[in-house]
Amino acid sequence: MEKGRMLYEGKAKKVYETDNPEYRIVSYKDDATAFNGEKKGTIVGKGAINNQMSNLLFQMLAKNGIPTHFVEELSERETVVKAVEIVPLEVVVRNVTAGSMAKRLGLEEGRELSHPIVEFYYKRDDLGDPLVTDAQIEVLELAPAKIRDEIREMALQVNELLARFMADRGILLVDFKLEFGVTESGELLLADEISPDTCRFWDIETKEKLDKDRFRRDLGNVEGAYQEMMKRVSEVQN
């Protein structure tokens, strides 16, 4: 499969067309941003880790019935994915209070929630990706109610599978962001990535942060945290 012209460059990835209109090639970068692009930097090796970790997790989820855009890993930084139109919603699933939820509601970080919470955010960098309600999603026509409900259900299924997978490797899945896309034939697929860029991962015993919060909060050893997550995700369980 041949890589064509670049269609899009985001904060962490580049997307290229291919000689087959049903597929795209995603290339992961080492660039790091936080606070809607206000903080910028580089995390050495991040692109390769995020690519390979996402692919491992997409394959695990697919084996458990979650349809994803993953097709084939080309190299440590590049992957073939199915072409989709991204639904303009960031979907955040929360198991433990942290980040914007803790700040917004005046809660201490680390409080386990009685059940997972699914939040939707409008994908608009210029607006700061604001939190939106079901009614606002309908009024703004961001997604039909049927697609929105399918996304919510699939996000909770991903949470159950991912939380169990991480717990087996000594990781607490605090919260994470997902994105979904629709193929030309109308199939809803899990897209984007699942990595320390898009998830909060804490060591289950020490609560050490093993994700991009180390970059956001200047905690140091950012590269080491990403490498540790890759090591644990790659572990084969008996």
Question: How many degrees, rounded to 5, is the angle at CA 153 between CA 33 and CA 140?
Answer: 65
pLDDT tens across 37-55, in order? Answer: 678 898 989 999 999 999 9
Question: Phi and psi of 81, rounded to 5°?
Answer: -130, 160
Q: What is the pLDDT of residue 2?
A: 86
Q: What is the pLDDT of residue 1?
A: 79
Q: What is the pLDDT of residue 237?
A: 66
Q: Any idea what DSSP says for residue 212?
A: T
User: How long a stretch of residues is the chain?
Assistant: 238
pLDDT profile of the chain (238 residues), mean per 10 = 91 95 96 80 93 98 98 97 98 97 95 97 94 97 97 98 98 98 97 97 97 94 96 83
Spatial CB neighbours of 185, under 8 Å, sequence gap ≥ 6? none
What domains are there in the chain, each with its CATH number? 3-82 (3.30.200.20), 87-224 (3.30.470.20)
Q: Would the pTM of this model clear 0.85, i.e. be above it?
A: yes
Q: What is the pLDDT of residue 209?
A: 97
The per-residue DSSP string of 14-27 comes to EEEEESSTTEEEEE
Q: What is the pLDDT of residue 236?
A: 74
Determine the angle formed by the axes of helices 46-63 and 222-233, rounding to 10 degrees.
30
Strands (E), 10-126: 13-18, 23-28, 31-34, 39-42, 70-73, 78-82, 85-86, 89-96, 112-122
Calpha distance 190→69 (Å, rounded): 6
